[in-house]
């Protein structure tokens, strides 16, 4: 029952928000948002305490992979809502009901994706996340955001369509195989009896489809536009939670393929996508002048690392599970801080925002810290995960992968450092006056930063265990 | 039964080619509507025996793909007061040739696919061809509205492939998929409205402000 | 340190000024002049010691300390030389580094004292001094390394003492190369033609002389005596390499040493009157050449 | 170890106090000074004990993160560095209090003190960490804190540029360290150094990779040519006391890393030893040649750090060769010399930077050609600086001489061996060359800054800085003198370190090195100098010395502008190395001047980076904003994968 509630509750709240005339205009029902978010988080926490049985005939279940994504989403959502409180003091969206309604719808859809064990249901949830976020990208209602929305919609929809085709291929692979159709545990259980040719085709199409939503190069093209034009807190949710859901889709099918013993077929593809994404990210991060687009490409980079770890197998799978968490939190952190910069200076470009240590000390500090966190410097969590993935590359006997990875990480660091430090340090433009940073706007990112820092030196027991089990499910192992 | 299905599938492929060939947006949309209608018939025809499941699915398909969405798109072009797709990025002849190529490719691939037994031999090639042609329309046309049409065709193709799985993909899922397609195209339509308002044209190639 | 060792050191100290006298005498005779007496430097020193001193207003204590440090460092350096060819008054493993360090210390003091006057002439001299030294010191070490390889000992007492005598039969060729290279060093370090001309009277061409322009009275005496002592030290190096005296009894060894020093002085005089002075920019090449000789000596032994 | 932990705690508290009591600076600074001093002392006690031969057990902290437990330990190698860190750290911290005083009001001075205290703590942790993860954490924290201190004056663009170059260099090093540890640990999951040591010996190929990675990663931090490019930039940009700390100890972390890697790795192959030796010679000679061309006092000192790192590498190289060819004595001597010179360089280089800071504080310029005659205006600072200069040149009886003497021994003793070892003696020539050039360079520095007449009004008005900026350099100078006078006190501990790095070989006890003789010598020399000086003074009293203007060789109108400049002084030397000395000379009717640049940075690294940038710019044209093109990318991906399917999955 709880799983169903987790998926349905936000939507139930969303319905009145969207229809009741009380919420017409710019007023945002923050209280409802907060209530729904906290309830959701509470329910998710209860799942950790008391693992639930599968529901809807096994269509909904909470396995380690799903729990990781679900928790990540829920936490990020709560943080985003707290941030919203401060955000709404400076800016009001055109339509408060669309804002709140879509956020809640997104939470529902993401929960469905995280808990779905029926791949068609997973697909439905995935498409729903795309659609629920689109209006949020278009929140500013100007030409640029319109263009971004259009590209985001078309590319993601095409990608997701390909994923649907892949799902059907998977169904064909299951022809005449015992077990409920397209239900994950049964697929895994009888993986070796699946038709290998269809399974391969299914894997590739699902990879491209969900890869498009993750933003793997070369299907990443919508990402900088969408992240750059959406309000920062929405970008944060997309980069932190939405990509997590998309990665979950890839991970699910990988789970099946690994179980079917087709690892030697799947892993090179994953590694290839990983390296290409790293390279593309590096190319676009050099000389980038807009922090939000920079973070978008950094997200491309980290998606690449995720599939790279998955493809390397061994401890790499563990690494990319850990990286999923770390990257999600770090991206949320960075986008929310960037949001503060945009609120204060009206822009996220190096041209307009300079010398923030003077005008926005707290945000600037968080931004610079974030630079080191995102680039995988010790002692932040991303260091742990990236180091694990690097080790996986060497253990798996691909030293050249390690070399390329390190080279790209180095180039990316130069690009990011140049921009972030460029806007954090220096003499602020004369016009800019110091802004008082409301605690609502700083608390969220600070909390995320603290968590990322903690994960670098201490991984709580339950999380550790869940990560390990997820890694094993993906054909890997815990270090 | 079987031959009827064959015929319908053939018509579907023809509608694809027709859409590729036409210059007029209105006929383009009419073509999609027709295709939707044909798709609505198919579940009943391909199913081993007529079942509530198949009929309901067919009716849902007709409702969404043959009536609501086409009407919606037609309204969109009325708003925009544009009649024809002027100079697509690839000429009409060329795109028809591309379509033919896609068709050939589709049959070639389908011939090599280990197809499930007792299926319509035409079903898979038709669906693959439709997918590819949808993709061609998406990539070679300028008007945002035509791109929506292209997406719709792509979806239709996938839907066709889904028909090989009617029994393994449960009814709810089918409807869910249908709903998603509906909402998806609906949202796209809304965006198209806004594009039309902002740029007073449906030419999506003018949305090139965001670059690196 | 033995009594004989100190006595020998004392004699060396007393005889040092005479060496430059011999050089000058040789030169004058070769150029057909009578020249100043051999003991001229003693008279000069005596005169200077009795004079008062004049300090420039720009100078600080560094200027005053200069001459003292120069002389003290040279005296201490002398302690490491085995004058009797067997043992030195003071010696420890690796004292060759100390020897070089002491020469450097003296040079540092001298150069700083020159710079302290703020005169551009002395600045120029200082610049030239350090330039030449930068090439002289590696050459000195090349010679020392050759000796170390030949004798397997890292103290001057050993390198120039008994082990050297045993090394001659084995490494005669390389040792003679080292000797020649040391003689070139002697010319360079003591500002002799073809590197510098102690007799010049044009400041722009001077090196050593121009640094001490502002020194007067006892200070100048210290410096002049210091340079005489330095000449003697290098002379001892050259003689010891060519004439190992380990076999001889103490007094005889000393006698041989001073005889050798005299020969070296005469030889310097001959060179000075036979050769013209090099252009300053060519000096490094001369020293590098000398270094090359020593390096060849080393390669012969690394074989 | 507990005492050590306490000291770190005190250091952190000191920083916190300075930052927290922003409102009452006086109280905050007193507290800072007190706690910092206490921390340094409590930390130095165990370090000295270990160097004296005591043994301290390791500390293991179990963790809930991958890669095993966190281990900390204090052996003689760590102890040397801890000592250097605490001494130099304290000197720089105290100096910083006075140096940043005038910044109060318009900059976060308290925060700067906090960062410095944390930096010292991170350094101490880095040299005591005995597991990969804590080591990497301390390493990166150290690097980042150092960066934040370097960009203290971040309004100036050149400071930001220098900071960025430094940050990129150090982060690249960190990435290489990841690779190093990953390659080292293999499939193992325990990353404590003990476990890593157990992995050795490696197959030839893997061992080569590991050693090469270590050399590059740690060489970047140490500033080995050609990886030194960040060093002069950062040192010139940072506040004086930060430069002192960086040049004194931060770059030494690279040396520590190399030595620690050797302890864990065991005997390296000969090629590695020769490489290190060659790098040492190059760094030493090039460093000092480039230094000669500088007129910015801080850049000049920075290049001398490159030189001295070269000397240390000569020691490490000799030691590595000793291990490779099986000459324990040489190995011990080489590593001992390296360790000792590291400590000595920490002392006199930070002393020199602090002295330079006082000069900058007094005159407001870093260009030595505008200075002159400061010895009469700030005598104490001048005296301390002179000691530092003599020490860095390696003159007896100061500490620089002692360590260079040990390194020489290591190089020369190879002579009697019967393998390839004797070739190493040639490195001694390079060492001599460095010494001579360094003498030339510091004759220039001391002469042009402190002696002669002021070349510019700014120098004329110079006065001694406040006491807080005099005591630290003087203290360091005293340390230099004491070590120089008592080799017997420092050489045996150094040998203990050497034998540890050489794999616990004998050599600590019954030292073959005549440190007794050396001590006698240094003491005798010191006494001799003092006696001679006393005699001369007594002699001078007889006749009152007359004062007169400098003898201008009959040229009556000498002006300060005619005083010999640094450019002219160094010209004949760097002229001989024109090809790689990295300077442009411009001769006008009025003046001759040379302008220095870093050839490696300007001719290698920046062009390479610009090449990457332009390539990226060209590649970026794939994202033109055309939607259909984007869709084509997706289609291309699908088609490509289908081909892969045809090839790889022979199923269709």
CA distance D262 to A123: 55
Enumerate neighbours of A (3 or more CB pairs within 8 A): B, D
Q: Do B191 and A124 make contact, defined as CB atoms within 8 angstroms?
A: no
CA distance D521 to C95: 9
Domain boundaries, chain A: 268-479
Q: Do B131 and A120 make contact, defined as CB atoms within 8 angstroms?
A: no
CA distance C50 to C59: 22
The per-residue pLDDT for D405 is 95
Torsion from C-alpha of A153, A158, A163, A165, nearest 10 degrees: 140
Tell me the chain C residues in contact with residue D382 when contact means C-beta distances shorter than 8 Å.
60
The per-residue pLDDT for B86 is 66
Question: Regarding beta strands D70-72 and D59-61, do their DSSP bridges make them parallel or antiparallel, or are they unpaired?
Answer: antiparallel
3-state SS class at B118: coil
Q: Do C68 and D533 make contact, defined as CB atoms within 8 angstroms?
A: yes
Domain residues for B139?
2-113+123-206
From D65, D144, D637, residue closest to A384, measured CB to CB: D65
Q: How far is A172 from chain B (nearest CA, A)?
A: 7
From C145, C213, C281, residue closest to D425, measured CB to CB: C145
| H-helix or E-strand spanning residue A412 | helix A399-424
Angstrom distances, CA of residue A35 to CA of A82, A104, A108:
11, 11, 14
Spell out, as residue ranges, where chain C has pLDDT lower than 70.
1
- The answer to whether residue B33 sits within a structural domain is yes
From B113, B147, B211, residue closest to D624, measured CB to CB: B211
Residues 264-283 of C with CB under 8 A from D: 280-281
The per-residue pLDDT for B1 is 60
Averaged pLDDT, B128-155? 92
CA distance B118 to B124: 12
| H-helix or E-strand spanning residue D33 | helix D25-51
Q: How far is B123 from chain D (nearest CA, A)?
A: 18
Question: Regarding beta strands D592-596 and D583-587, do their DSSP bridges make them parallel or antiparallel, or are they unpaired?
Answer: antiparallel
Question: Is the separation of the CB atoms in D35 and A426 below 8 Å?
Answer: no
For the cut 50, the answer to whether the pLDDT of residue D509 exceeds it is no
Question: Is the separation of the CB atoms in D492 and D515 below 8 Å?
Answer: yes
Tell me the chain D residues in contact with residue B108 when contact means C-beta distances shorter than 8 Å.
none
From C55, C133, C213, residue closest to D436, measured CB to CB: C133
Averaged pLDDT, D369-387? 94
Confidence of residue A353 (pLDDT cuts 50, 70, 90): confident
The per-residue pLDDT for A431 is 63
3-state SS class at D546: strand
CA distance D85 to D312: 17
Determine the residue of chain A that is closest to B134 in CA distance: A158
Prediction pTM value: 0.94
DSSP state of D248: I
Tell me the chain B residues in contact with residue A157 when contact means C-beta distances shorter than 8 Å.
151, 184, 188
Q: Do B131 and A134 make contact, defined as CB atoms within 8 angstroms?
A: no
Tell me the chain D residues in contact with residue B135 when contact means C-beta distances shorter than 8 Å.
631, 635
Q: Do D645 and A425 make contact, defined as CB atoms within 8 angstroms?
A: no
Torsion from C-alpha of B90, B92, B93, B94, nearest 10 degrees: 20
Question: Is the separation of the CB atoms in A168 and B158 below 8 Å?
Answer: yes
Residues 93-122 of C with CB under 8 A from D: 93-95, 97-98, 100-102, 104-105, 107-108, 111-112, 115-122
The per-residue pLDDT for D486 is 94
Q: HSE on the CB side for D404, CA within 13 Å?
A: 35
From A121, A134, A284, residue closest to B212, measured CB to CB: A284
CA distance A444 to A428: 25
For the cut 50, the answer to whether the pLDDT of residue D652 exceeds it is no
Q: Do C93 and D415 make contact, defined as CB atoms within 8 angstroms?
A: no
Cα-Cα end-to-end distance for chain C = 37
Determine the residue of chain C that is closest to D451 in CA distance: C116
CB atoms within 10 A of CB D337: 32
For the cut 70, the answer to whether the pLDDT of residue A201 exceeds it is yes
Which residues face A290 on adjacent strands? A349
Question: Which residue out of D620, D624, D627, D637 would a mutagenesis test of the B interface target, given it has the greatest number of B Cβ atoms within 10 Å?
Answer: D627
* A99-110 exposure pattern, b = at least 16 Cβ within 10 A, e = fewer: bbbbbbbbbbbb
Mean pLDDT, chain A, rounded, equals 93
Nearest to D214 by CA among D167, D261, D280: D261
Nearest to D133 by CA among A387, A405, A325: A387
Tell me the chain B residues in contact with residue D625 when contact means C-beta distances shorter than 8 Å.
207-211
Which tens digits make up the pLDDT trace of A42-97?
Answer: 999 999 999 999 988 889 999 999 999 999 999 999 999 999 999 988 888 888 88
From C54, C73, C213, residue closest to D548, measured CB to CB: C54
Tell me the chain D residues in contact with residue C100 when contact means C-beta distances shorter than 8 Å.
432, 435
- Please give the distance of CA B37 from its chain centroid, rounded to a whole number: 11
Pick from B134-148, D85-99, D121-135, D349-363: least confident: B134-148
Tell me the chain D residues in contact with residue C132 when contact means C-beta distances shorter than 8 Å.
none
Enumerate neighbours of C (3 or more CB pairs within 8 A): D
CA distance C232 to C255: 15
Averaged pLDDT, D50-78? 89
The count of domains in chain B is 1
Q: Do D439 and C108 make contact, defined as CB atoms within 8 angstroms?
A: yes
Tell me the chain C residues in contact with residue D562 when contact means C-beta distances shorter than 8 Å.
120
The per-residue pLDDT for D512 is 54
Pick from A309-318, D461-470, D568-577: least confident: D568-577
Q: How far is A344 from chain B (nearest CA, A)?
A: 23
Q: How far is D623 from chain A (nearest CA, A)?
A: 7
For the cut 80, the answer to whether the pLDDT of residue A105 exceeds it is yes
3-state SS class at D181: helix
ipTM score for this prediction: 0.93
Angstrom distances, CA of residue A448 to CA of A66, A77, B200, D399:
21, 12, 44, 51
Cβ-Cβ contacts under 8 Å between B and D: the total is 29
The per-residue pLDDT for D469 is 95
Q: Do chains C and A touch (3 or more CB pairs under 8 A)?
A: no
The per-residue pLDDT for B121 is 80
CA distance D98 to D90: 13
From D155, D186, D625, residue closest to A426, measured CB to CB: D155
> Under an 8 Å CB criterion, which residues of B touch A?
113-114, 116, 131, 135, 138, 144, 147, 151, 154-155, 158, 161-162, 164-165, 167-170, 173, 176-177, 180, 183-184, 187-188, 191, 194-195, 198-199, 204, 207-210, 212
Determine the residue of chain D that is closest to C103 in CA distance: D395
Question: Regarding beta strands D546-548 and D70-72, do their DSSP bridges make them parallel or antiparallel, or are they unpaired?
Answer: unpaired
Helices (H), A140-262: 143-173, 184-189, 196-214, 222-229, 232-237, 243-259
- Please give the distance of CA D244 from its chain centroid, rounded to a whole number: 9
Averaged pLDDT, D179-197? 89
User: Residue D167, preceding bond cis, omega within 30 degrees?
Assistant: no
The per-residue pLDDT for D53 is 87
User: Residue A108, preceding bond cis, omega within 30 degrees?
Assistant: no
From C108, C154, C222, residue closest to D393, measured CB to CB: C108
Which tens digits make up the pLDDT trace of C41-57?
Answer: 999 999 999 888 889 88
Confidence of residue D30 (pLDDT cuts 50, 70, 90): very high
Tell me the chain A residues in contact with residue B138 when contact means C-beta distances shorter than 8 Å.
154, 158
Q: Do D626 and B140 make contact, defined as CB atoms within 8 angstroms?
A: no
The per-residue pLDDT for A432 is 58
- The answer to whether residue B211 sits within a structural domain is no
Q: How far is D629 from chain A (nearest CA, A)?
A: 10
For the cut 60, the answer to whether the pLDDT of residue B117 exceeds it is no
| H-helix or E-strand spanning residue D547 | strand D546-548
Enumerate neighbours of B (3 or more CB pairs within 8 A): A, D
The per-residue pLDDT for B119 is 64
The per-residue pLDDT for D648 is 77
Which tens digits make up the pLDDT trace of D511-570?
Answer: 555 688 889 899 999 999 999 999 988 887 777 788 888 877 767 666 777 778 888 888
As separate numbers, helices (DSSP H) first and strands (DSSP E) second, chain C gives: 11, 1
Tell me the chain C residues in contact with residue D516 when contact means C-beta distances shorter than 8 Å.
92
Question: Which residue out of D427, D485, D553 would a mutagenesis test of the C interface target, given it has the greatest number of C Cβ atoms within 10 Å?
Answer: D553
Residue D64 CB burial class (10 angstroms; 0-12, 13-18, ≥19) = exposed
Which tens digits make up the pLDDT trace of A293-340?
Answer: 999 999 999 999 999 999 999 899 999 999 999 999 999 999 999 999
Q: Is D642 on the interface with A (CB under 8 A)?
A: yes
Which pair of structure tokens corresponds to residue D136? 């990497």
3-state SS class at A352: coil
């Amino acid at each position: 029952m709880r799983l169903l509630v987790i998926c349905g509750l936000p939507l139930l709240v969303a319905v009145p928000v969207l229809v009741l005339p009380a919420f017409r205009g710019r007023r945002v029902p923050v209280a409802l948002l907060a209530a729904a978010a906290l309830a959701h988080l509470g329910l998710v926490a209860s799942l950790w305490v008391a693992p639930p049985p599968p529901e809807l005939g096994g269509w909904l279940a909470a396995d380690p992979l799903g729990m990781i994504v679900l928790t990540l989403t829920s936490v990020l959502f709560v943080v985003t809502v707290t941030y919203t409180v401060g955000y709404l003091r400076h800016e009001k969206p055109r339509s408060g009901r669309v804002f709140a309604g879509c956020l809640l719808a997104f939470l529902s859809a993401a929960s469905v994706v995280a808990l779905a064990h029926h791949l068609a249901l997973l697909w439905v949830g995935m498409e729903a996340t795309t659609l629920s976020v689109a209006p949020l990208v278009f929140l500013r209602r100007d030409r640029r955001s319109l263009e971004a929305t259009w590209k985001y919609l078309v590319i993601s929809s095409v990608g997701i369509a390909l994923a649907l085709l892949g799902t059907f291929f998977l169904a064909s692979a299951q022809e005449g195989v015992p077990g409920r159709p397209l239900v994950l545990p049964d697929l895994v259980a009888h993986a070796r009896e699946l038709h290998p040719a269809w399974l391969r085709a299914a894997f590739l199409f699902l990879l491209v489809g969900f890869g498009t939503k993750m933003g793997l190069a070369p299907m990443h093209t919508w990402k900088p536009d969408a992240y750059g034009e959406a309000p920062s807190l929405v970008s944060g949710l997309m980069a932190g939670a939405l990509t997590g859901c998309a990665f979950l889709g890839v991970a699910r099918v990988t789970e099946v393929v690994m179980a079917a013993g087709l690892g030697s077929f799947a892993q090179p593809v994953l590694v290839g996508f990983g390296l290409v994404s790293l390279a593309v990210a590096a190319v676009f991060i050099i000389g980038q002048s807009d922090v939000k687009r920079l973070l978008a490409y950094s997200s491309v980079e980290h998606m690449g690392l995720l599939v790279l770890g998955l493809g390397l197998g061994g401890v790499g799978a563990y690494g990319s599970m850990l990286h999923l968490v770390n990257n999600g939190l770090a991206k949320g952190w960075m986008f929310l801080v960037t949001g503060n910069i945009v609120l204060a200076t009206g822009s996220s470009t190096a041209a307009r925002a300079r010398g923030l240590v003077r005008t926005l000390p707290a945000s600037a500090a968080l931004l610079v810290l974030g630079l080191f966190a995102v680039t995988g410097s010790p002692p932040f969590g991303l260091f742990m995960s990236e180091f694990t993935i690097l080790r996986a590359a060497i253990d798996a006997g691909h030293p050249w992968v390690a070399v390329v990875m390190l080279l790209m990480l180095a180039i990316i660091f130069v690009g990011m450092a140049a921009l972030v430090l460029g806007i954090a340090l220096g003499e602020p433009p004369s016009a800019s006056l110091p802004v008082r940073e409301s605690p609502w706007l700083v608390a969220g990112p600070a909390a995320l930063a603290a968590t990322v820092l903690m994960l670098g030196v201490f991984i709580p027991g339950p999380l550790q265990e869940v990560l390990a089990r997820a890694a094993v499910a993906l054909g890997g192992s815990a270090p | 039964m079987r031959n009827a299905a064959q015929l319908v599938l053939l018509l579907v492929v023809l509608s694809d080619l027709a859409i590729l060939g036409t210059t007029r947006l209105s006929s383009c949309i009419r073509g999609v509507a027709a295709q939707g209608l044909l798709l609505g018939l198919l579940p009943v025809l391909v199913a081993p025996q007529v079942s509530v499941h198949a009929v309901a699915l067919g009716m849902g398909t007709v409702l969404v793909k043959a009536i609501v969405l086409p009407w919606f798109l037609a309204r969109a072009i009325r708003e925009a007061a544009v009649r024809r797709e002027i100079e697509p990025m690839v000429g009409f002849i060329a795109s028809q040739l591309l379509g033919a190529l896609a068709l050939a490719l589709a049959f070639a691939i389908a011939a090599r696919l280990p197809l499930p037994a007792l299926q319509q031999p035409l079903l898979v090639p038709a669906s693959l061809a439709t997918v590819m042609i949808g993709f061609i329309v998406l990539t070679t046309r300028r008007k945002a509205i035509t791109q929506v049409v292209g997406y719709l065709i792509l979806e239709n193709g996938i839907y066709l492939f889904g028909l090989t799985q009617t029994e393994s993909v449960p009814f709810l899922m089918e409807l869910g998929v249908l709903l998603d397609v509906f909402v998806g195209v609906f949202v796209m339509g809304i965006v198209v409205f806004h594009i039309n308002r902002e740029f007073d044209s449906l030419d999506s190639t003018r949305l090139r402000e965001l670059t690196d | 340190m033995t009594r004989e060792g100190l006595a020998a050191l004392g004699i060396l100290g007393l005889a040092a000024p005479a060496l430059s006298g011999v050089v000058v005498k040789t030169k004058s005779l070769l150029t057909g002049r009578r020249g100043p007496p051999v003991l001229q430097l003693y008279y000069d020193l005596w005169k200077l010691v009795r004079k008062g001193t004049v300090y420039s207003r720009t100078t600080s204590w560094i200027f005053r300390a200069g001459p003292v440090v120069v002389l003290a460092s040279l005296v201490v350096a002398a302690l490491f030389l085995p004058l009797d060819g067997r043992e030195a008054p003071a010696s420890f493993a690796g004292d060759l580094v100390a020897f070089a360090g002491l020469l450097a210390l003296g040079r540092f003091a001298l150069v700083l004292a020159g710079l302290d006057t703020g005169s551009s002439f002395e600045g120029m001299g200082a610049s030239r001094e350090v330039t030449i030294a930068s090439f002289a010191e590696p050459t000195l070490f090349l010679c020392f390394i050759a000796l170390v390889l030949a004798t397997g000992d890292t103290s001057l007492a050993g390198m120039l003492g008994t082990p050297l005598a045993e090394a001659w039969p084995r490494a005669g060729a390389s040792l003679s190369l080292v000797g020649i290279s040391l003689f070139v060093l002697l010319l360079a370090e003591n500002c002799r033609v073809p590197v510098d001309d102690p007799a010049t009277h044009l400041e722009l061409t001077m090196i050593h002389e121009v640094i001490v322009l502002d020194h007067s009275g006892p200070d100048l005496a210290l410096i002049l005596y210091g340079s005489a002592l330095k000449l003697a030290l290098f002379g001892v190096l050259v003689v010891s390499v060519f004439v190992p005296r380990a076999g001889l009894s103490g007094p005889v060894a000393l006698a041989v040493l001073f005889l050798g020093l005299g020969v070296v002085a005469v030889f310097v005089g001959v060179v000075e009157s036979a050769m013209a002075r090099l252009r300053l920019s060519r000096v490094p090449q001369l020293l590098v050449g000398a270094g090359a000789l020593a390096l060849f000596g080393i390669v012969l032994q690394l074989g | 170890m507990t005492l050590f932990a306490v000291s770190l705690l005190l250091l952190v508290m000191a920083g916190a106090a300075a930052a927290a009591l922003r409102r009452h600076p006086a109280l905050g600074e007193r507290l800072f000074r007190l706690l910092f001093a206490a921390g340094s002392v409590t930390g130095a006690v165990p370090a000295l004990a270990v160097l004296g031969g005591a043994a301290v057990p390791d500390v293991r902290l179990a963790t809930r993160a991958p890669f095993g437990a966190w281990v900390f330990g204090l052996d003689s190698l760590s102890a040397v560095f801890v000592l250097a860190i605490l001494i130099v750290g304290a000197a720089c911290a105290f100096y910083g209090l006075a140096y940043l005083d005038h910044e109060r009001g318009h900059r976060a001075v308290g925060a700067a003190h906090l960062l410095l205290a944390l930096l010292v703590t991170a350094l101490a942790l880095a040299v005591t960490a005995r597991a990969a993860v804590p080591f990497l954490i301390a390493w990166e924290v150290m690097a980042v804190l150092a960066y934040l201190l370097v960009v203290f004056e971040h309004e100036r663009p050149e400071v930001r540029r220098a900071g960025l170059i430094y940050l990129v260099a150090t982060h690249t090093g960190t990435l290489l360290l990841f690779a190093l540890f990953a390659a080292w640990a293999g499939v193992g999951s325990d990353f404590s150094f003990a476990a890593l040591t157990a992995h050795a010996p490696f197959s030839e190929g893997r061992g080569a990779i590991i050693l090469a990675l270590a050399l590059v990663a740690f060489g970047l931090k140490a500033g080995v040519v050609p990886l030194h490019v960040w060093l002069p930039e950062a040192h010139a940009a940072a506040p004086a006391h930060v430069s002192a700390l960086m040049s004194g100890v931060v770059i030494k972390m690279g040396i520590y890393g190399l030595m620690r890697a050797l302890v864990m790795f065991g005997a390296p192959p000969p090629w590695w030893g020769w490489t290190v030796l060659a790098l040492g010679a190059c760094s030493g000679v090039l460093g000092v040649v480039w230094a000669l061309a500088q007129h910015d006092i801080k850049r000049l000192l920075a290049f001398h750090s490159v030189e001295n790192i070269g000397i240390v590498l000569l020691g490490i190289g000799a030691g590595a060769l000793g291990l490779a060819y099986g000459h324990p004595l040489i190995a011990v001597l080489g590593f001992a010399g390296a360790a000792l010179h590291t400590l000595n360089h920490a002392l006199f280089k930070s002393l020199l930077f602090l002295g330079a800071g006082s000069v900058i504080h007094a005159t407001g310029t870093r260009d030595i050609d505008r200075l002159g005659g400061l010895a009469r205006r700030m005598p104490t600072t001048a005296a301390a600086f002179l000691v530092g200069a003599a020490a860095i040149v390696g003159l007896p009886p100061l500490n620089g001489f002692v360590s260079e003497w040990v390194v020489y021994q290591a190089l020369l003793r190879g002579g009697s061996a019967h393998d390839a070892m004797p070739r190493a003696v040639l490195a001694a020539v390079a060492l001599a060359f460095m010494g001579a050039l360094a003498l030339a360079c510091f004759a220039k520095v001391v002469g042009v800054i402190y002696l002669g007449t002021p070349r510019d009004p700014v120098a004329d008005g110079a006065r001694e800085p406040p006491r807080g900026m005099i005591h630290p350099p003087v203290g360091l100078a005293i340390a230099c003198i004491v070590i120089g006078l008592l080799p017997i006190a420092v050489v045996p501990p150094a040998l203990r370190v050497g034998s540890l790095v050489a794999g616990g070989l004998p050599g600590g006890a019954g030292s073959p090195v005549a440190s007794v003789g050396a001590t006698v010598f240094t003491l005798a020399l010191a006494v001799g100098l003092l006696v001679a000086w006393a005699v001369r003074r007594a002699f001078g009293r007889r006749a009152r010395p007359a004062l007169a203007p400098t003898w201008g060789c009959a040229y009556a109108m000498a002006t300060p502008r005619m005083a010999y400049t640094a450019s002219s002084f160094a010209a004949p030397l760097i002229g001989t190395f024109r090809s790689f000395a990295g300077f442009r000379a411009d001769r006008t009717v009025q003046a001759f001047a040379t302008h220095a640049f870093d050839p490696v940075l300007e001719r290698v690294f920046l062009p390479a980076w610009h090449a990457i940038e332009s390539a990226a710019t060209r590649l970026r044209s794939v994202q033109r904003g055309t939607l259909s093109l984007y869709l084509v990318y997706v289609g291309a991906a699908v088609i490509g994968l289908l081909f892969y399917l045809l090839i790889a999955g022979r199923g269709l």
